[in-house]
Amino acid sequence: TASQTTTVSSNDIASTEHEFLVLGLIPKVKNTITLTITDTDGNATTRTIEQTGPKLLGEEEVRLEQAIAPDESTVTTLGNGLYAILGNDSNEQDFMYYYDANGVIRGEIPVLYYRSHRLLFDNDGIMWFSASTKHFVGMNRLGKLVKIINLGDQYILHHDYALDSDGNIVSLATDLKHSDHAVQDQVIKVDTDSGEVSLLVDFGDLFPDYKQSTDHSGIDESDPTATNRWDWIHFNTIQLMDDGSALLSARETSTMIKINDIEGTPSLDYMIGEPSVWNGMDAQPSFLTKVGDSGDTGGQHSITVQYDSSLEDGQYYIYMFDNDFGYAMTRPDFDWTMIDGISTAQSSKDENSNSQFRKYLVDENAGTYTEVQDFDVPYSPYVSSAQELSDDLNLVDIGMQGLFGVYDDDGNLKAQYKMVLSSGYIYRVYQYGFRGFYFA
C-alpha cells in the first residue's frame, strides 16, 4: 500500500460546492480517498470514497526500483513534495512524471514532444513549462491548460528558462533563421500575456572572436533532423539574478557566464571556469580568481544561484551538477585533462570516472570564487541535475544512468531511485512542494 495525506489548495471563500483535483491515484487498483471539509465554525465533515486509478498513458513504472529506500527522517524532510521527472526522452509519446518520496507514481503529464525542463509558478496560480521545442504552456491547479504560446517560425527553445519579475519567460533558444546554422546560443523573452517573442541576446554578437575560433560542428538535440549545425557554446542553464543580470552555464566551454542587464543592454560581467579555454579572446580577462586548489568544472549542468542572508552584499552561492567531463566537439585540440580531476570518458559506465555535486561561494567585491562543498556521485558525462532540498539534503539526478538520489552534505546516500530509460537519459529531476498550487 502507498498512502499520502495532503491539504488541497483553495481560496478563502466559503462555499457549499467544492471541486478539487485528486492527485496521485495508484493506477489500476482500488484507491480509498478520504475528504475532510471544515466549515466556517470549525466543524469537520468527512467522506470516504473508493476509486480505481486510471491506466497509465505511458509505459513508466508504478513504483521505482529503490537501491536505498528513504528512512523515516528523510521521508519526513521530503514531506509531500513530488519528484518531477523532466525528460526521460523517447521516440514515442513524451511525458513529465511525478513520483513521491517512496518512489510511487503520482501523476503523468503528456507533452507534445521533446521535454519539460523545469516548472515555473507565477503570481496568478499558473504553472508554466515547455511542452515542445515550440510551445510554452500555462496550467492551472485543476490541470487545465489556460495558456498555450507558440514561439513561431524563428526560434525554438532548449534546455532551460526562468520567470522574470514581470511574469514573463526568459528562455534559452536557437534562431532557426541564422545563416551560419549556429545553435543554442540565443536568449529570448516570451511575453506570457501577449505571446510576443523578442530577442534579448545573440551570444555570437557578444563573443564574436571566440565563436569564429571554433570548428563549425555539432548537433542540435532539440532538433534531431537538423544538419550542418554549429554548437559552439551550448548553453544548458539560465538563472535570473536579483540585480537584473543572468547567470548562464555553457557546456561546450565548461564556463559559467554572468551577463549584466539581460533584459536591457546585455554586457559581460564575469566568467567562472578554466580560463585557458578562452585564451586570446577579448572576454578572457573577465574570469574571477579561484581561491584554493580545487579543480574546475567539466561540462556542468543545472547551475543554481543561492542567496543567503548571512552573507555580505555581493556574495552568494552557486551550486551545480559537475559532470567532470572534458570534451568539446568544436574545440577538438583542447586538452581538457589539464583540469584536475576531469574525465574524458564518453561512457557513463567508465569505472574510473565520477561526477560531483559542487558548490562555490562567489564574492563579486573581491572578484573571487571559492569551493565550499563537493562530493562524488556516479558518473554522467552529459545531462543531469542537482537541487538543495534542505540544510542537509541534496537531490542529484545522474541522468545517463537513470538514477536519482538524495544525499546529505557529506555525500552519504540517503535514498536512491532507478527509472528504466526510454532511450538515453533522464535530463533532470527536481522536487517541488506544489504549495499554493496543488496543495495548501
In the numeric block, which cell numbers belong to residue 349? 559506465
pLDDT at 235: 98
Contact 391, 410 (CB under 8 A): no
* Per-position b or e across 356-370, b if 16+ CB within 10 A of its CB: bbbbbbbbbeeebbb
Q: How deeply is 69 buried, as exposed, middle or buried, from its count of CB atoms within 10 A (0-12, 13-18, 19+)? A: middle
The pair phi, psi for residue 205, each rounded to 5°, is -80, -30
pLDDT at 415: 97
- Cα 151 to Cα 191: distance, rounded to the nearest angstrom: 10
pLDDT at 399: 97
pLDDT at 410: 98
- Cα 318 to Cα 256: distance, rounded to the nearest angstrom: 10
Which element (helix H / strand E) includes 209? helix 208-213
pLDDT at 82: 96
- Cα 13 to Cα 247: distance, rounded to the nearest angstrom: 41
**pLDDT by residue for the chain (440 residues), tens digit each?**
565 666 666 555 677 787 778 889 999 999 999 999 888 888 999 999 999 999 999 999 999 999 999 988 889 888 889 999 999 888 888 999 999 999 999 999 999 999 999 999 999 999 999 999 999 999 999 999 999 999 999 999 999 999 999 999 999 999 999 999 999 999 999 999 999 999 999 999 999 999 999 999 987 777 777 778 999 999 999 999 999 999 999 999 999 999 999 999 999 999 999 999 999 999 999 999 999 999 999 999 999 999 999 999 999 999 999 999 999 999 999 999 989 889 999 999 999 999 999 999 999 999 999 999 999 999 999 999 999 999 999 999 999 999 999 999 999 999 999 999 988 899 999 999 999 999 88
pLDDT at 20: 76
Residue type, 381: P
Q: What angle do CA 364, 316, 80 make, to 5 degrees?
A: 160
- Cα 374 to Cα 317: distance, rounded to the nearest angstrom: 13
- Cα 263 to Cα 336: distance, rounded to the nearest angstrom: 34
pLDDT in tens, 199-245: 999 999 999 999 999 999 987 777 777 778 999 999 999 999 999 99
In the numeric block, which cell numbers belong to residue 344? 574524458
Alpha-carbon 120 to chain mean position: 11
Q: How many CA atoms lie within 13 A of 244 on its CB side?
A: 8
Cα–Cα distance list, 167 to 123, 126, 223, 307 (Å):
8, 10, 28, 20
pLDDT at 38: 87
In the numeric block, which cell numbers belong to residue 118? 523545469
pLDDT at 61: 96
The whole model's pTM is what?
Answer: 0.94
Q: What angle do CA 312, 316, 319 make, to 5 degrees?
A: 155
pLDDT at 389: 96
Strand, coil or helix: 359: strand
- Neighbouring C-beta atoms of residue 375, cutoff 10 Å: 18
- Cα 14 to Cα 244: distance, rounded to the nearest angstrom: 40
Residue type, 364: E
In the numeric block, which cell numbers belong to residue 62? 508504478
Which element (helix H / strand E) includes 199? strand 197-202
